[in-house]
Structure 1
């Protein structure tokens, strides 16, 4: 809190001591605030659009598979966009990549907001909007370690994660009521406005930096993708961290079938859209609490030791849904699952320390691509299975599979490895 900070030539903020950082120090950094505000604002608009699509499709089809398919559409484009487009943030200036993506997405979502837009066109535009999120997210993830360093980065990541989850919680919980008031097209127009606001915040709050690749070479996107894949997957420690990150496919699956699950839990006291919002908000709420406690009260070294146990916790509570409990118990289980998801902070911090800065965006893009892929594929599988088994046993099976996978990774992580960097 009272530590001295100085701007290094490359723009990062380094603490003069090795003590654990504080949130006040992180928030005091202007560039971080710009990244933080812009991301939270655009994400809020996205959540409103996401809830609108899910409720609309289920009202029309009454099909868990169709609902999950449309929800998965917001994940699957990153399978392509992550590996191929993320490298743009290493090849070009990262702030410029973010601004370009924001402006194009604002235009695309503005077209989506036009009344009478055919459903197939709407889905195509959603695909393109999500595709552009890959280079934007890679640029932002690679830029953050240039703005923050050491434990400042960990707390900055935690603060962004908590904000993201809080925004998702707010967007999901209030989304049904807002969409009932505004209508789906106005909700999409609001989403377009958030992209424009994000671009304005980036212009005013983030300084220009040269591209990370300063040798003047312009390798092809395919060459950069192959180099990033070799970097990430040939290293045992990076590969393990990536698999930890991809565990989210198990505990995110319930969100994709939240609407049919809400229909099962409906008792007449609360409408299905409200129950849907509560279910979709439970995990983000737990993640906010878990991220705050994990980053604020757990030392950097202890975070790494607890990572495996928290990964198991992220999936274990979902198993209780096999007993078909009432809404309050389901909400509590999903909340606890979100608390366990805080292990991602430790995995992310270690990953940053072990990836060279000039390949950071490409590496993050590959990981993000996998994240979105496992979530989208998991949701599709969950929707397919829920049509045949019902949502409760599907969520429980996801929990069991996740616990087994997390336990295996925890044992691998606890085995012999090089010491964790002090700043992780």
Structure 2
């Protein structure tokens, strides 16, 4: 085993001060956002009695990120990270506080959520750029792994805590608690993230072609999506996540169709998240980088294949086990991280991470819509199997990426 092929350790990753600060802040913010989304959905439904408006409240912050990613993404490389990221969390805190304190019309509430969401890829891209600059080699991949694990845990805790908080103190007080968590995240970034990081674009002489942030963001996004090395790496990460998100959106309907007890849908939705935690832990910490990269197609098969079994109506314990196993397949993305980082242009690195986040959010919003339509025409079980088959079909592209 060469030194370069030796797996990194958590000690190496958490020894980096910038990573510690961003890890803590992001974990707080993701938990707060999950709580905020749930509480706002409950608040909207209680005020309107409309399932549609409640669903819109749940998803209002996803698709608008496309606008921010495409038209504001270059700001990640033009502005200093610490004030940009701290400002992002502070704005999220103001939003949650406004939703909790003010008796706003539903249309105004959803508009505010959508507008603020436009900035999310910018803040996320800046944080990802800092981590990519501070962690090198396999430490960067392990950092991504532990970030994925904390995201899954924070989402689960945020949703679970949201249910408890809303039941105990009501949705408005829960929104204020979410605002407090966002404030804590901003404070962690402001005082925990070193101010030494300097944008590569700010370090260069001003260039006429980068004068306007919107024009620069659009041209940069087009250039990145046109790059023959970058585009396949983006699609290889976006598409499986979109397919699986679409399948997960049908778990409630699938469970009801099988006659499972009420609440089983939540168990089915949590099972892949548990598998994701396990898969990222094992692959990130114990697999050599070269083995992890060779195993990406196999992990992708593990992600999709169990979904093909659902039309056969396995017993509930077997079904939950299959979904946990499927979730471990999300580790396929770790094997792409070194190639993805190597393909990133130095002066567009932050924008590439913003674009990655934008596409991930957008396609995870579109996936449930497409597979929901398939389920309407056929059945939830068959639509989930279609998602599994589509995921499996991406695996050959990963082999071609490695051989290319």
Aligned to 1:192: 179
1:74 match: secondary structure: coil
Q: Distance in 2 between matches of 1:343 and 1:53?
A: 33
Match of 1:95 among 63, 79, 82: 82
Q: Distance in 1 between matches of 2:57 and 2:257?
A: 20
Q: Identify unmatched segments of 5+ residues in structure 1.
A: 1-15, 418-424
Aligned to 2:155: 168
Higher mean alpha-carbon deviation, 78-87 vs 255-264, is at: 255-264
Determine whether 1:244 maps to 2:233: no
Q: Distance in 2 between matches of 1:70 and 1:392?
A: 27
Cα deviation, 1:45-91, whole Å, max 9, x if unaligned, reads 1122334456677897786x776655443321111111212211101
Question: CA separation of 1:379/1:73 partners in 2, compared to 1, >3 Å: closer, same or farther?
Answer: farther
Determine whether 1:409 maps to 2:397: yes
TM-score by length of 1: 0.84
Question: CA separation of 1:297/1:400 partners in 2, compared to 1, >3 Å: closer, same or farther?
Answer: same
Cα deviation, 1:207-231, whole Å, max 9, x if unaligned, reads 1122221124253234433443354
Q: Trace 1:62-101 onto structure 2 (pairs within 5 A).
A: 69-101=56-88
Aligned to 1:125: 112
Question: CA separation of 1:66/1:380 partners in 2, compared to 1, >3 Å: closer, same or farther?
Answer: farther
Aligned to 2:345: 356
Aligned to 2:199: 211
1:342 match: secondary structure: helix
Q: Using the TM superposition, give the Cα deviation of residue 153 of structure 1 relative to its aligned residue in structure 2, in angstroms.
A: 1.0
Aligned to 1:398: 387
1:21 match: secondary structure: coil
Does structure 2 conserve the Cα–Cα contact (< 8 Å) formed by 1:69 and 1:380? no
Question: CA separation of 1:172/1:349 partners in 2, compared to 1, >3 Å: closer, same or farther?
Answer: farther
Question: CA separation of 1:313/1:51 partners in 2, compared to 1, >3 Å: closer, same or farther?
Answer: farther
Does structure 2 conserve the Cα–Cα contact (< 8 Å) formed by 1:169 and 1:285? no
Does structure 1 conserve the Cα–Cα contact (< 8 Å) formed by 2:4 and 2:137? no
Does structure 1 conserve the Cα–Cα contact (< 8 Å) formed by 2:90 and 2:183? yes
Does structure 1 conserve the Cα–Cα contact (< 8 Å) formed by 2:7 and 2:286? no
Q: Using the TM superposition, give the Cα deviation of residue 182 of structure 1 relative to its aligned residue in structure 2, in angstroms.
A: 3.0
Match of 1:334 among 290, 301, 323: 323
Q: Distance in 1 between matches of 2:54 and 2:298?
A: 33
Does structure 1 conserve the Cα–Cα contact (< 8 Å) formed by 2:279 and 2:331? yes
Q: Distance in 1 between matches of 2:256 and 2:401?
A: 40
Q: Distance in 2 between matches of 1:129 and 1:316?
A: 38
1:236 match: secondary structure: coil
Question: CA separation of 1:282/1:219 partners in 2, compared to 1, >3 Å: closer, same or farther?
Answer: farther
Cα deviation, 1:307-351, whole Å, max 9, x if unaligned, reads 122123222222222234444333323322221011112223321
Determine whether 1:146 maps to 2:133: yes
TM-score by length of 2: 0.88
Match of 2:30 among 10, 28, 43: 43
Higher mean alpha-carbon deviation, 318-327 vs 357-366, is at: 318-327
Does structure 1 conserve the Cα–Cα contact (< 8 Å) formed by 2:37 and 2:57? no
Q: Distance in 2 between matches of 1:119 and 1:389?
A: 34
Q: Using the TM superposition, give the Cα deviation of residue 114 of structure 1 relative to its aligned residue in structure 2, in angstroms.
A: 2.6
Does structure 2 conserve the Cα–Cα contact (< 8 Å) formed by 1:308 and 1:407? yes
Q: Using the TM superposition, give the Cα deviation of residue 410 of structure 1 relative to its aligned residue in structure 2, in angstroms.
A: 2.7
Cα deviation, 1:110-134, whole Å, max 9, x if unaligned, reads 1111364332223222212322211
Determine whether 1:295 maps to 2:284: yes
Match of 2:365 among 373, 376, 380: 376
Q: Distance in 2 between matches of 1:362 and 1:139?
A: 8
Aligned-residue Cα RMSD (Å) equals 2.7
Q: Distance in 2 between matches of 1:124 and 1:167?
A: 25
Aligned positions, number: 395
Q: Distance in 1 between matches of 2:373 and 2:175?
A: 28
Question: CA separation of 1:121/1:76 partners in 2, compared to 1, >3 Å: closer, same or farther?
Answer: same
Aligned to 1:12: none
Aligned to 1:366: 355
Q: Distance in 1 between matches of 2:349 and 2:140?
A: 14
